[in-house]
Amino acid sequence: MKIIPQELEDIVGADNVTADDETCRIYSEDAANLPGIAKQIIDNQFDVVAQPVTVKSLQHLLRYAMEHDLPIVPRGNGTSGWGGAIPVKRGLCVSLTQMNQMVHLDDYACTVTVEAGITWRELLMILERMGTTLPVYPSSATAATVGGFVASGGFGIGSAKHGEIGDQVVGIEAVLANGKIVRVGDVVVGPQPDDLHDEATEGTEWLSDKVGGSIRLNEVLSGTYGTLGIITKVTLRTIPKLQLRPFACSFESIADLAKVAQIMIDSALPYHLRYLDNNHTSKLASLIGFPAEWDKFLLAGALHGTIYDNDDGIEAIEKIVSENQGTLLDEKRADFHWDERLYPLRFKRQGPSLVPAEVTTPVDNLPDLHQDTLDRLGNSKFAVEGTIGADGVASYLVWILDDERKKFRYTIGWHRSFDIASLARKHEGHPYAVALWNTRHAKVFYGEDKIAKLKQLKKDVDPRNMLNPVKVFGGRAQTAWHSQLFGFGVGFILTFGLLFFGPSFLGLTRAGDLLTSFPLQFLHVQLIWYLSILGGAVGLLAMKLMTLNQALAMGIPLLRFLDKFLNR
Amino acid sequence: MTKPGPIEQSGQKNDPYVCASCGNCTLVCPVFRQMRWEPYGPRGKLSITKSILEKESEFNLEFTRKLFLCTLCEHCTTVCTTSIRLDRFWELMREEAKARNLTPAPVKFASESIKRTGDPFSIGRASRLLWAEGMEDIIETRISAKAEVAFFLGCNVSLKHPLHDVARSMIKIMEHAGVEYTLLGEEESCCGAPLLWAGEPEGTPTMVEKNAQALADLGVRKVVFSCPSCASTWISSMHKSSGTSAVRKMELLTASQFINQLIQKGLLAFEEQPMITATYHDPCISARVLGVGKEPRNVIERIPGIYRVEMVSTEEDTRCCGSHALLNMIDPHLSAQIAEMRLRDASVTPASLLVTECPRCEMAFDLATITLGYSVQILDIAQLVANSLSSEEGEGDVQQ
Ligand SMILES: Cc1cc2nc3c(=O)[nH]c(=O)nc-3n(C[C@H](O)[C@H](O)[C@H](O)COP(=O)(O)OP(=O)(O)OC[C@H]3O[C@@H](n4cnc5c(N)ncnc54)[C@H](O)[C@@H]3O)c2cc1C
Ligand code: SF4
Ligand code: SF4
């Protein structure tokens, strides 16, 4: 695969392509501070970054990538931390941020259609000026793109009432990995001329044939992290903008908090519901100052309704909270926590680095999961927060403070992130996202049936696994030369050790003699050395052929062992 | 490759690691919004800095260029999730660039000019009173007069012809209100802010003190600035000032704060204006650093016949005009594009008048009205107020 930037320039325009090393490095990062060791199992820098501005140029870009065996990764604004937008096998990064226009607002049908690269904040600003708003948006709204959140799926602000982002999607336009343009669901483009109509109709029919009604078409593109197609437009549900009434309450225990949260969800009260554990409130108190909430468990959110409904809602909340040993905080604190909803990572200042662990669990299980987390993380400094969805499932996000400059300790500490993901399984949960780092959990995440169908579809649209390779469906990692050298070393030492001690241990004197013979007359080298080199080569090959999951399956226990050994 | 020194010394060396990569800063950054590539936005520049600290990248000319393609508008600082003082960080990085002799030529020119002629444009003191044309009689009596109030014009208003009316307007306002005031005239020097922007902060306190001491010697207790950057530079320097307590106790006000005080005291009388729709653009430094947002709005509202509408992104959330921190000298094209971007926010309002209180914003928007082909009148708040004063003192709609 050789990339010729000029050819890409011909497709998307010279100003919209760069192969500048520094730029490619920056676009190869997401929000996670990966330890250096990650670079051993993924080839972690794009060769080139392109920012297409039209669906057609994106389609040509995809076709070019497929023809030239060029891995291609869609990217919004890189605010996710699960590896979905980072390179695994170098290749081309397609940043969607220049496709950022609002396409059509349909007041009557309560929908809005936007291009994938618009940020949620920008969209909210436009909608709110027109008297409508969004049922769900992520707490990364200031930077996250509509395409990025829809492609990832998940909870956001508003999920307590309206569910996940996938439930708000009315239609999606995308270019599939094979270059076909599809429109699934109802993509409302409004009265303007629609050049893509015929092609999109044909593409959508093709996709329907392939999927055959086995999964909802929206689900092909929402929650699959850009592995099957690149989202270009999204039609979203809108809701009328009514009164927002923030509230916040504090508790002495997470059990009380969970109980109250469950009651609130059951009675369909809040629009948004977010919680922080006592570690989080204490650490925030010392950062931005709210001493009253020091060491408390905090449940904060907002009602969204008519003034009368909200008055009744607040009254109901007051009652529920006081009946369950909680304290309803005053309006000022409530407003403060509402404003803070867009700043969930403030706490990182105390790091300076964070090791994240993000999972889900039913609200009822929060106390047990929290206790297990405390036991598992021992004396690590960490804080927990999460959002609660309409179905009573909560995200449970553990931020473990660390310092990436202490390279060795930081690296070995990463097993904690994977440990929490496994812990969630014990509590009827699973990792919050699959993307790159949790493909091992894909079956639990999607369900066996759905992942099997998605895998089949992946084979149909992208047989050579070029669009966002290794994400969701797993695959072979691209090991760096250090790892390959490591593989060689391990293979060599193991073979040598086995052949050196094995024969005498087993009393095989003839085999021992053979191993110390010189098979090639002109080289004064014993057979054992040839065989050890062969063992090294096998080790190296194993490293090269290893899948990412195999690498993680070997690496995580090793990190855990080292961490225990060093008695963290 | 050594580690950047000023960052180490300033206590901000953790910041590139503290960054959560949330992107809040990048999406508001006016330079990123124009350049469209991450390395030009704050998140990208922090990533490069981290990479320099990790000895994986070089602090080179290309990176320096990115550091200076920044208006120090502080928008990134106000939205930062992890409370990084990004504006300060960029200033420190500029110091580092200076230490490595990488400062861009236009910036060097500005700093050398200040040392040579007392202004960043190399125009010289002899031109500092050209603005007073037509009101020499009044001004002559005010220069170096003993008074409690001083009007500090700043280099742009003193020396750039299109801005001379701003100075004349403030004089009209003070005369109308019967304020006893003084001016430094040709003795006024640059406030020193461009030295901060050039990565030479050590020169700034001397500049501030020189001006401030001269005013203190005239008995001044209140200084009115026609440029918010001068005000902010004075305010931050005075905290550290080794000057006399008279200097440290001075009240430092932007034009709108001062005019608002005059209105509150009932010293200004306005004439009915012919139904003008106006919008107010908050200069970055007024709104984000000095917290001035209510005062100019109050002033506009008190002028009869002026109807005020708001653009998107106001007060602390205001968008930059593109010419702060020498960007208009470093990359005039980029600076002009940023001004156009902000002016577009005004163009979707019904306003036919855009009011602000920063001379650089005014120059930038004046140019942008031409390049955008969007006809809107641009006025400094002092000009609007002076134009609306009743012709006879004490007449008109006297505010109580
Ligand atoms: C402060 C903060 C708060 C957050 N809050 C939330 C939250 O409330 N809920 C939540 O679920 N997550 C949250 N996240 C995680 C993240 O912000 C979201 O997943 C977000 O929606 C990602 O958007 P993005 O534009 O940055 O996408 P990226 O991070 O760039 O990409 C995310 C994934 O989507 C793919 N992708 C991007 N654009 C497209 C496209 N157009 N077509 C196809 N695939 C695409 C990428 O390949 C990648 O797999 C938060 C992150 C931060 C830093
Ligand atoms: S100060 Fe303004 S121009 Fe400079 S990086 Fe921050 S937001 Fe961008
Ligand atoms: S806002 Fe702050 S934390 Fe977020 S990316 Fe910018 S510098 Fe980093």
Please identify, among B57, B79, B102, the residue that sits at the C-terminal boundary of a domain: B102
Is residue B82 within 6 Å of ligand 3 at its C-beta? yes
Q: Which residue of A has its CA nearest to B17?
A: A352
Please identify, among A218, A240, A262, the residue that sits at the C-terminal boundary of a domain: A240
| A395 in any annotated domain | no
| B397 in any annotated domain | no
DSSP secondary structure of B214-233: HHHHTT--EEEESSHHHHHH
Q: Which of A22, A23, A33 has the most B C-beta neighbours within 10 Å, making it the best mutation to test the interface with B?
A: A22
Percent of chain A whose predicted confidence (pLDDT) is above 70: 99
Residues B114 and B228 grouped into a single domain:
yes
Range of the domain at A516: 481-545
Across the interface, do B17 and A403 touch by the CB < 8 Å criterion?
yes
| A126 in any annotated domain | yes
Residues B49 and B158 grouped into a single domain:
no
Instruction: List % helix, strand, coil for chain A (3-state, nearest 5).
Output: 45, 20, 35
| B121 in any annotated domain | yes
| A520 in any annotated domain | yes
Residues A86 and A150 grouped into a single domain:
no
Please identify, among B102, B131, B165, the residue that sits at the C-terminal boundary of a domain: B102
Residues A112 and A50 grouped into a single domain:
no
Ligand nearest to the CA of A387: 1
Residues B140 and B111 grouped into a single domain:
yes
| B394 in any annotated domain | no
ipTM value: 0.92
Range of the domain at B66: 5-102
Residue A462 pLDDT greater than 50, yes or no:
yes
Residues A155 and A184 grouped into a single domain:
yes
How far is B366 from B160, CA to CA, in rounded Å? 13
Is residue B44 within 6 Å of ligand 3 at its C-beta? no
Ligand nearest to the CA of B323: 2
Residues B115 and B243 grouped into a single domain:
yes
Residues A26 and A140 grouped into a single domain:
no
Residues A298 and A221 grouped into a single domain:
no
Ligand 2 atom closest to Cα of B77? Answer: 6
Residues B327 and B364 grouped into a single domain:
yes
Nearest to B47 among A26, A142, A287 (CB): A26
| B396 in any annotated domain | no
Distance (Å) from CA B369 to ligand 3 centroid = 33
Residue A478 pLDDT greater than 80, yes or no:
no
Please identify, among B55, B86, B102, the residue that sits at the C-terminal boundary of a domain: B102
The total domain count for chain A is 4
Please identify, among A299, A317, A342, the residue that sits at the C-terminal boundary of a domain: A342
Q: pLDDT averaged over chain A?
A: 93
pLDDT at B244: 63
Residues A288 and A171 grouped into a single domain:
no
Residues A270 and A326 grouped into a single domain:
yes
Residues A113 and A214 grouped into a single domain:
yes
How far is A435 from A147, CA to CA, in rounded Å? 15
Across the interface, do B18 and A348 touch by the CB < 8 Å criterion?
yes
Pick from B237, B231, B186: which is nearest to B207 by CA? Answer: B237
Residues A76 and A152 grouped into a single domain:
no
Residues A125 and A89 grouped into a single domain:
no
Is residue B120 within 6 Å of ligand 2 at its C-beta? no
Contacts of B24 in chain A (CB under 8 A): 142-143, 342
Min distance B89 CA to chain A CA atoms (Å): 15
| B152 in any annotated domain | yes
| B128 in any annotated domain | yes
Q: Is the pTM of this model over 0.90?
A: yes
Contacts of A25 in chain B (CB under 8 A): 47, 51
Min distance B383 CA to chain A CA atoms (Å): 32
Residue type, B398: V
CATH of the domain at A256: 3.30.70.3450
pLDDT at A511: 87
| A390 in any annotated domain | no
Q: Which of A348, A397, A404, A407 has the most B C-beta neighbours within 10 Å, making it the best mutation to test the interface with B?
A: A348
Residues B181 and B316 grouped into a single domain:
no
pLDDT at B243: 61
How far is A475 from A463, CA to CA, in rounded Å? 13
Q: Are A250 and A297 in contact (CB under 8 A)?
A: yes
Please identify, among A240, A272, A288, the residue that sits at the C-terminal boundary of a domain: A240
Categorize the per-residue pLDDT at A167 as very low, low, confident or very high, splitting at 50, 70 and 90: very high
Ligand nearest to the CA of A358: 1
Categorize the per-residue pLDDT at A2 as very low, low, confident or very high, splitting at 50, 70 and 90: low
Is residue A245 within 6 Å of ligand 1 at its C-beta? no
Q: Are B363 and B156 in contact (CB under 8 A)?
A: yes
| B316 in any annotated domain | yes
Across the interface, do B48 and A22 touch by the CB < 8 Å criterion?
yes
Residue A404 pLDDT greater than 70, yes or no:
yes
**Sheet containing strand A181-185, strands side by side:** A102-106, A111-115, A229-237, A169-176, A181-185
| A46 in any annotated domain | yes
Min distance A532 CA to chain B CA atoms (Å): 36
Q: Is A365 on the interface with B (CB under 8 A)?
A: no
Across the interface, do B27 and A143 touch by the CB < 8 Å criterion?
yes
Residue type, B265: K
Give the CA angle between residues B151, B311, B321 to the nearest 5°.
55
Contacts of B8 in chain A (CB under 8 A): none
The total domain count for chain B is 3
Across the interface, do B20 and A31 touch by the CB < 8 Å criterion?
yes
Residues B133 and B227 grouped into a single domain:
yes
Is residue B23 within 6 Å of ligand 3 at its C-beta? yes
Kind and range of the H or E run holding B265: none
**Could you tell me the CA-to-CA distances from A40 to A26, A478, A481, A492 in Å, in that order?**
18, 8, 8, 20
What pLDDT tens digit does each residue of chain B (400 aa) get?
Answer: 455 688 888 889 999 999 999 999 999 999 999 999 999 999 999 999 999 999 999 999 999 999 999 999 999 999 999 999 999 999 999 999 999 999 999 999 999 999 999 999 999 999 999 999 999 999 999 999 999 999 999 999 999 999 999 999 999 999 999 999 999 999 999 999 999 999 999 999 999 999 999 999 999 999 999 999 999 999 988 766 666 666 778 999 999 999 999 999 999 999 999 999 999 999 999 999 999 999 999 999 999 999 999 999 999 999 999 999 999 999 999 999 999 999 999 999 999 999 999 999 999 999 999 999 999 999 999 999 999 999 865 444 444 3
